[in-house]
Amino acid sequence: MIEFRPSGLTADEEDLRVRVREFVAEEFPSGTYLPELGINAAADVEFSRRLAARGWVGMVVPEEYCGPGRSATERFLVVEELLAAGAPVGAHWVADRQTAPVILRFGSERLKREFLPRIVSGDVFFCLGMSEPDSGSDLASVRTRATRTDGGWLLNGRKVWTSGAQYCHYVMTLCRTSPRGERKHAGLSQLIVDLRSDGLTVSPIRLLNGQHHFNEVVFEDVFVPDHLVLGEVGSGWHQVTSELAYERSGPDRFLTTFPVLRYFLDFRHAAGPEAELRLGALAARYWVLRNMSLSIARSLDDGEVPVVEATLVKDLGTSFEQDVLDVVRDLAGGDQDPDGDLFGRLLADATVTAPTFTLRGGTNEVLRSVAAKHLLREKRRAV
Partner 1 sequence: MSDELQLLDETLAAIFAKHFDRTARIAAGRDFPHELWTLLDKAGLTTLGGDGAELAELVVLARAVGRAAAPVPLVETAGLAAWLVGAAEETLPEGITTCAVGHADDDLRVVRDGDGWAVSGTLHRVPWGRDSGHVAALVDGVLVVLPVPQEVRRGVNLAGEPRDTLEFHGVAAHTAVDGAVGPDALRERGAVLRAASMAGAMESALELSLAYAGEREQFGKTISSFQAVQQHLVAIAEETLCAGMAVRLAVAASPEQAGFAAAAAKNTAGCAAAVVTKRAHQVHGAIGVTDEHALPWFTKRLWAWQDEFGTAREWAAPLGRGVIADGGAGLWPRLSASVGDA
The half-sphere exposure of 306 on its side-chain side, counting CA atoms within 13 A, is: 26
Instruction: Determine if 305 is a binding residue for partner 1 (CB under 8 A).
Output: no
SS3 200: strand
Q: According to the binding rule CB under 8 A, does residue 84 interact with partner 1?
A: yes
Residue number with CB closer to partner 1 (186 or 270): 270
User: How many residues of this chain interact with partner 1, rule: CB under 8 A?
Assistant: 58
28 binds partner 1, rule: CB under 8 A: no
Binding piece for partner 1, criterion CB under 8 A, among 4-12, 120-128, 146-154, 218-226? 4-12
- Helices 364-382, 307-332: inter-axial angle, 10-degree rounding: 140
Amino acid (1-letter code) at residue 330: D
From 46, 220, 221, 276, residue interacting with partner 1 (rule: CB under 8 A) = 276
The answer to the question of residue 74 lying near partner 1 (CB under 8 A) is no
Q: 231-260: which residues touch partner 1 (CB under 8 A)? A: 258
Q: Is 56 in the site for partner 1 (CB under 8 A)?
A: no
Rounded Cα distance, 197 and 57, in Å? 26
Based on CB atoms, which residue is closest to partner 1, 93 or 343? 343
**What is the dihedral angle through the alpha carbons of 277, 9, 266, 41, rounded to the nearest 10 degrees?**
-110
Q: Which is nearer to partner 1, 14 or 232 (CB)?
A: 14
Q: Which of 105, 55, 101 is nearest to 78 (CA)?
A: 55
Does 78 participate in binding partner 1 (rule CB under 8 A)?
Answer: no
Torsion of CA 29, 30, 36, 37, to 10 degrees: 140
Q: Report in angstroms how near the CB of residue 343 gets to partner 1 at its nearest.
A: 10
Contact with partner 1 (CB under 8 A): which of 54, 62, 221, 281?
A: 281
**Angle at CA of residue 372, ends 355 and 285, nearest 5°:** 50
Which residues are paired to 155 by β-bridges?
146, 222
Nearer to partner 1, 4 or 106 (CB): 4
SS3 state at 308: helix
CA dihedral 255, 171, 69, 234 (to 10 degrees): 110
Is residue 79 a contact residue for partner 1 (CB under 8 A)?
A: no
Which phi and psi angles does 227 have, rounded to 5°? -70, -10
Select from 184, 179, 175, 183 the least CA-distant residue to 228. 175
Q: Smallest distance from the beta carbon of 258 to partner 1, in angstroms?
A: 7
Residue with smaller CB distance to partner 1, 11 or 208: 11
- Residue placing its CB nearer to partner 1 in the complex, 30 or 149: 30
In the list 45, 154, 207, 275, the residue contacting partner 1 (rule: CB under 8 A) is: 275
> Minimal distance in Å, beta carbon 61 to partner 1?
23
Q: Is residue 3 a contact residue for partner 1 (CB under 8 A)?
A: yes
Spatial separation of the C-alpha atoms in residues 14 and 92, rounded to whole Å:
24
- Would you count residue 285 as binding partner 1 (CB under 8 A)? yes
For partner 1, which residue of 59, 100, 312, 347 counts as binding (CB under 8 A)?
Answer: 312
Counting contacts by CB under 8 A, is residue 316 touching partner 1? yes
Cβ proximity to partner 1: between 47 and 263 the closer is 263
- For residue 331, the minimal CB distance to partner 1 (Å) is 10
Burial 294-318 (b: 16+ CB within 10 A, else e): bbbbbbbbeeeebbbbbbbbbbbbb
Residue from 39, 165, 230, 261 touching partner 1 (CB under 8 A): that is 261
Supply φ then ψ for residue 151, to 5 degrees. 75, 10
Query: Which residues, in sequence order, are CB contacts of 181 under 8 Å at separation 6+?
Result: 187
Which residues of this chain interact with partner 1, rule CB under 8 A?
A: 1-10, 13-14, 30, 80, 84, 258, 261-266, 270-271, 273, 275-292, 295, 312, 315-316, 365, 368-369, 371-373, 375-376, 379-380, 383
